[in-house]
A and B are shown apart, each in its own frame.
Chain A
Amino acid sequence: MSKAGITLATADPPAPTVRLPRRRGVELALIVLAVLLSVYGYCAVGLARNGTVPPGAAGYGAGLGVLALMAHLAVRWRAPHADPLPLPIGVLLNGLGLVLIYRLDLEAPGDPAAPAQLVWSTLGVALFIGVVLVLRDHRVLQRYTYLCVTAALVLLTVPILFPAVNGARIWIRVAGFSIQPGEFAKVLLAVFFAAYLAANRGALAYAGRRDRWLHLPTGRVLGPIVAVWLVSVGVLVLERDLGTSLLFFGLFVVMLYVATGRTGWITLGLLLASLGAVAVGRLEPHVHGRIETWLHPFASVEAGEGPNQLAQSLFAFAEGGVLGTGLGLGHSVLIGFAVKSDFILATAGEELGLAGLSAIILLYGLLVERGYRAGLALRDPFGRLLAVGLASLVALQVFVIAGGVTGLIPLTGMAMPFLAQGGSSVVTNWAIVALLVRLSDCARRQGDAGAVR
């Protein structure tokens, strides 16, 4: 099926002692680098704001270092063949996110968010370690296909019962904590899609009536797909969450394409998505407003109402220029509400400049690339689809929110993976990295096994 497999199968068996390098040392070195960079950023904020190294710098560095080290040890123990890049990238982005949130906390000392974010990061790393230790083989997940989709749907629908927060019903509040269940649902849906598509690839690709241009699969296979489409539009309408809807749909179309190789699916998907988007954009004032703001970010300025959040975000990016103002020296706090969550990238853009912003986007790009690399190397369809799905999830989410705050596409409330304030998001992203580590470990182990054989 894959070229890699064929090559390996036909190649002469090498000497049994030759093994693929495990590169755990590289991973450790990169983790140390990531922690040092984060601590440096933390110190830079303190030096810029107060002229002194912040008192918690050592503790912060030690905390992040210990977390990263434990994650590394878990990988070393249970996934020794894993790709050395995803974990350091996760540590660096998470550490940088903590620095940015700490930096914004200094603007409004009454409402610190960094400590809570550190707690959530710890939970996230714990989940990472748990997944790496417990999940020895990703194929186990295939057994829970329908459990996953049921859980995902429940998680998606629960917030409808809770009051809307800032126009969107995506939060539930339990014991003082705000949780965004939709974040967890993303991973579960990716697992479901991968398992479902892996199982029904043949039926989707070849069964059903074939017309001259359009190839329609049978209703039995089409049913779940339509259901998913309805769910994503339902999410959009009922929860007013354009971003999540877009994300689910994009994820589904990408995975469907990879599974079946049919461009017709993409066409149909895009058609349905744009139909849904246009309809909702017309009917739903909240979404309509977002689109208007995207088209005319300075309309509120011209109307004398002062700059809106998007305009403030653009101002922040513009102030950053190429090299940025330096950590702690920008004024992205002018964005106001959601500056630590949805708009966290504006702070990075202003204080680290285009250089820093590009570095961050490239880090995401590298993470996505490693996911795809694992997908290419794996041989089982479920594993391949899961790797591609998780990597695409990251890419799509980064695109939706980063494109939103820089005015490329309409703004939708969504968390920047790892960087943004938001516990559910951090935990989910650590789960994604854990799955990618596990998948890459399997991919390289099978390669290793093949080499040994």
Chain B
Amino acid sequence: MTRHIRHAGLFCALLLVALLVNAARVQVLRADAYESSPANRRDAIARYQQPRGDILVGGRPVTGSRDTREHLRYERTYLDGPLYAPVTGFASQEYGTTLLEHTEDDLLSGTAPVLAPLPLWNEFTRSRNAGGKVMTTIDPAAQRAAYEGLRSRKGAVAAVEPSTGRILALVSVPSYDPGLLSGNGRTAREAWAGLNADPDRPMLNRAVQRTYPPGSTFKVVTAAAALDAGTVGDLDEPTDSPDPYTLPGTTTRLTNGSRGCADASLREAFIHSCNTVFARLGVTTGVARMRATAENFGFNRGDLRIPFPVARSTFDTSVDRAQLALSSIGQYNTRATPLQMAMVAAAVAGGGQVREPYLVERTTRAGGGTVSAAGSRPVRRAMHPATAMRLRELMRGVVEDGTGTKAAIPGAVVGGKTGTAQHGLGNSGTPYAWFISWAQHEEDMEPKVAVAVVVEDAAANRREISGGGTAAPIARAVMEAVLKS
């Protein structure tokens, strides 16, 4: 019997050893796989266990955290949610994160390794650092001016500081309150469904995620290419352009909205926004040079991050001459984000140089120690400095006695360009009204702000749509706000 008792005892020992081995398998070997399972809520619980770090505009937080005492404890709140939604995005317990909330998530949620006091410290102590702070480059006055300028109209505004690339305003209307999506309850689900079903797509960040045909504002690029290439020598020399202009290789006749475009000089054509002149100029300059200049301004680049991605602005290069003519006046396949057009204005304002735009000035720990600061950004030459000087002259002319007089600011030097872009099947859509501009104090050395405004449905009456009429006053308000500060 003793022998059999020993056998039975061995059997029991085997059972317990099997338990130990299996426990080691589950808790050590397979642990990572189980921990990363999307159904495992522990990550989410830990993530919302502490208040999320804040996003700051002009030194004041525009976000906050609310203690719900629920399982997922802290929920994101937003001050002026709709105003800053195109900057912050949302941070939802149910639907993830977008925009800055997404790109800076590691820092805001406290998981960024750089926040740890020692390497691997958090892994060892199973602790999580307090969320860091993100200081944005946004100028609150400019942001508000842009938002209130657009009011209930659909559209977007982007403003940058030409000398640095700091983004001063980023507005998209209609907007939404990201705070509605923060939680995980019924309200969040209903808000999500409602926002997604909205035909106006309020969650679309029109300033960076949507491209529009830039229309006449693209003539700045065409003029820069022509001047750089020497196609045009003197701004006041007649350009030998017919009106109307028959697109090469077709019988389509291109006309103008304004008179006096036949054989106009570049200055006159720019001020009055003559399609015929610039279409012909683009064709004369040639697709290679047009393309090079457009790409130097930032077109056809899909990798721009501010730090969230910006939609690719396009200048089609596989075109025939007729298509090139249309491309050169910002139609056909030429498309640009409002931010891209702000960069175009900034290039002119900044002496021909484009600085990569950015939105995050500095990130810090919760206590205030700097984690990272925006260093100097890559600079690209979009055009010759002399060309930039001449374009500034042209753009000033638009504001002083052309289509953009509504953007003039007393005591400041302002340059601009209007645009009215046709779109839709057979150009049936309500045209987009554009205005791009820059401004500087008279006593200053260089412009302080470059801005692009697009208004999608400027007015019910189609005739009244024009960049100068509806978009220019908004641009003016934004520039004034920046110049005042």
Nearest-CB distance from B354 to chain A (Å)?
A: 48
Is B35 located at the chain interface by the 8 A CB criterion?
yes
Interface residues of B in 6-63 (CB under 8 A from A): 6-9, 11-13, 15-16, 18-20, 22-24, 26-28, 30-35, 37-42, 45
Is A258 a contact of B5 with CB atoms below 8 Å? yes
Interface string of A385-412 (1 = CB under 8 A from B): 0001001100110110011001110000
Question: In the complex, which residues of chain A have a beta carbon less than 8 angstroms from the beta carbon of B463?
Answer: none
Is B2 a contact of A2 with CB atoms below 8 Å? yes
Is B126 located at the chain interface by the 8 A CB criterion?
yes
Question: In the complex, which residues of chain B have a beta carbon less than 8 angstroms from the beta carbon of A391?
Answer: 9, 12
Interface string of A251-277 (1 = CB under 8 A from B): 000100111010000000000000000
Question: In the complex, which residues of chain A have a beta carbon less than 8 angstroms from the beta carbon of B6?
Answer: 376
Nearest-CB distance from A380 to chain B (Å)?
A: 11
Interface string of A88-119 (1 = CB under 8 A from B): 00000000000000000000000000000000
Interface of B is mostly: helix
Is A436 located at the chain interface by the 8 A CB criterion?
no
Is B1 located at the chain interface by the 8 A CB criterion?
yes
Is A322 located at the chain interface by the 8 A CB criterion?
yes
Question: In the complex, which residues of chain B have a beta carbon less than 8 angstroms from the beta carbon of A384?
Answer: 1, 5
Question: In the complex, which residues of chain A have a beta carbon less than 8 angstroms from the beta carbon of B24?
Answer: 354
Is A325 located at the chain interface by the 8 A CB criterion?
yes
Interface residues of A in 59-94 (CB under 8 A from B): none
Is A143 located at the chain interface by the 8 A CB criterion?
no
Q: What is the CA–CA distance of A282 and B42 in the complex, to the nearest angstrom? A: 36
Is A318 a contact of B30 with CB atoms below 8 Å? yes
Known pairs A384-B5, A408-B19; A368 contacts B12 (CB<8 A): yes
Q: How many residues of B are counted as interface, with CB atoms below 8 angstroms from the partner's CB atoms?
A: 37
- Which of A123-131, A161-169, A184-192, A309-317 is found at the contact surface with chain B? A309-317
Is B4 a contact of A361 with CB atoms below 8 Å? no
Is B3 located at the chain interface by the 8 A CB criterion?
yes
Is A331 located at the chain interface by the 8 A CB criterion?
yes
Is A369 a contact of B35 with CB atoms below 8 Å? no
Instruction: Specify which of B23, B30, B35 is in contact with A358 (CB 8 Å cutoff).
Output: B23
Is A209 located at the chain interface by the 8 A CB criterion?
no
Q: What is the CA–CA distance of A376 and B2 in the complex, to the nearest angstrom? A: 6
Q: What is the CA–CA distance of A219 and B22 in the complex, to the nearest angstrom? A: 42
Nearest-CB distance from B24 to chain A (Å)?
A: 6
Closest B residue by C-beta to A364? B16
Interface string of A352-388 (1 = CB under 8 A from B): 0110011001101100110010011000010010001
Question: In the complex, which residues of chain B have a beta carbon less than 8 angstroms from the beta carbon of A357?
Answer: 23, 27
Q: What is the CA–CA distance of A329 and B39 in the complex, to the nearest angstrom? A: 20
Is A319 a contact of B19 with CB atoms below 8 Å? no
Closest A residue by C-beta to B36? A318
Question: In the complex, which residues of chain B have a beta carbon less than 8 angstroms from the beta carbon of A2?
Answer: 1-2
Is B19 a contact of A406 with CB atoms below 8 Å? yes
Q: What is the CA–CA distance of A357 and B23 in the complex, to the nearest angstrom? A: 8
Is A406 a contact of B5 with CB atoms below 8 Å? no
Known pairs A349-B27, A372-B12; A315 contacts B4 (CB<8 A): no
Known pairs A357-B27, A361-B20, A368-B16; A315 contacts B34 (CB<8 A): yes
Known pairs A257-B7, A358-B23, A384-B5; A298 contacts B39 (CB<8 A): yes
Question: In the complex, which residues of chain B have a beta carbon less than 8 angstroms from the beta carbon of A258?
Answer: 1, 4-5, 7-8
Is B16 a contact of A365 with CB atoms below 8 Å? yes
Closest A residue by C-beta to B9? A372
Is A254 a contact of B8 with CB atoms below 8 Å? yes
Question: In the complex, which residues of chain B have a beta carbon less than 8 angstroms from the beta carbon of A408?
Answer: 18-19, 22
Is A214 located at the chain interface by the 8 A CB criterion?
no
Q: What is the CA–CA distance of A358 and B19 in the complex, to the nearest angstrom? A: 9
Q: What is the CA–CA distance of A329 and B126 in the complex, to the nearest angstrom? A: 10
Q: What is the CA–CA distance of A361 and B2 in the complex, to the nearest angstrom? A: 25
Is A306 located at the chain interface by the 8 A CB criterion?
yes
Question: In the complex, which residues of chain A have a beta carbon less than 8 angstroms from the beta carbon of B12?
Answer: 368, 372, 391-392, 395-396
Known pairs A258-B1, A381-B1, A388-B8; A314 contacts B26 (CB<8 A): yes
Question: In the complex, which residues of chain A have a beta carbon less than 8 angstroms from the beta carbon of B16?
Answer: 361-362, 364-365, 368, 395, 398-399
Q: What is the CA–CA distance of A257 and B31 in the complex, to the nearest angstrom? A: 39
Nearest-CB distance from B287 to chain A (Å)?
A: 51
Instruction: Specify which of A329, A369, A388, A403 is in contact with B22 (CB 8 Å cutoff).
Output: A403
Closest A residue by C-beta to B34? A318
Is B41 a contact of A331 with CB atoms below 8 Å? yes
Closest B residue by C-beta to A366? B16
Known pairs A321-B31, A399-B18, A407-B22; A311 contacts B9 (CB<8 A): no
Is B18 a contact of A307 with CB atoms below 8 Å? no
Q: What is the CA–CA distance of A216 and B32 in the complex, to the nearest angstrom? A: 52
Q: What is the CA–CA distance of A298 and B34 in the complex, to the nearest angstrom? A: 10
Is A47 located at the chain interface by the 8 A CB criterion?
no
Is A261 a contact of B3 with CB atoms below 8 Å? yes
Is A46 located at the chain interface by the 8 A CB criterion?
no
Please indicate which of the listed interface residues B4, B27, B28, B40 has the most CB atoms of chain A within 10 Å of its own CB: B27
Is A3 a contact of B37 with CB atoms below 8 Å? no
Is B23 a contact of A315 with CB atoms below 8 Å? no
Nearest-CB distance from B32 to chain A (Å)?
A: 8
Is A353 a contact of B27 with CB atoms below 8 Å? yes
Q: What is the CA–CA distance of A298 and B37 in the complex, to the nearest angstrom? A: 9
Please indicate which of the listed interface residues B1, B11, B37 has the most CB atoms of chain A within 10 Å of its own CB: B1
Question: In the complex, which residues of chain A have a beta carbon less than 8 angstroms from the beta carbon of B9?
Answer: 368-369, 372, 388, 391
Is B19 a contact of A403 with CB atoms below 8 Å? yes
Question: In the complex, which residues of chain A have a beta carbon less than 8 angstroms from the beta carbon of B33?
Answer: 318
Question: In the complex, which residues of chain A have a beta carbon less than 8 angstroms from the beta carbon of B30?
Answer: 314, 318
Question: In the complex, which residues of chain B have a beta carbon less than 8 angstroms from the beta carbon of A388?
Answer: 5, 8-9
Closest B residue by C-beta to A201? B1
Q: What is the CA–CA distance of A325 and B35 in the complex, to the nearest angstrom? A: 13
Closest A residue by C-beta to B13? A365
Q: What is the CA–CA distance of A192 and B31 in the complex, to the nearest angstrom? A: 44
Is B27 a contact of A320 with CB atoms below 8 Å? yes
Q: What is the CA–CA distance of A376 and B7 in the complex, to the nearest angstrom? A: 12
Nearest-CB distance from B220 to chain A (Å)?
A: 52
Is B18 a contact of A3 with CB atoms below 8 Å? no
Is B23 a contact of A361 with CB atoms below 8 Å? yes
Closest B residue by C-beta to A408? B22
- The 9 A-B pairs at the shortest CB distance, nearest first, are namely A318-B34, A395-B12, A318-B31, A399-B15, A307-B39, A301-B39, A372-B9, A354-B27, A408-B22
Q: List 22 A-B contacts (CB under 8 A).
A: A254-B11, A259-B4, A301-B38, A307-B37, A311-B37, A314-B26, A315-B35, A317-B27, A321-B27, A321-B28, A349-B23, A349-B26, A358-B20, A361-B20, A365-B13, A372-B5, A376-B2, A395-B16, A403-B19, A406-B23, A407-B22, A408-B18
Mark B residues whose CB is within 8 Å of A: 1-9, 11-13, 15-16, 18-20, 22-24, 26-28, 30-35, 37-42, 45, 126
Given contacts A315-B34, A317-B26, A408-B19, 15 further A-B contacts (CB under 8 A): A2-B1, A4-B2, A258-B4, A301-B39, A317-B34, A318-B35, A320-B27, A357-B27, A358-B20, A368-B16, A384-B1, A391-B12, A399-B15, A399-B19, A406-B23
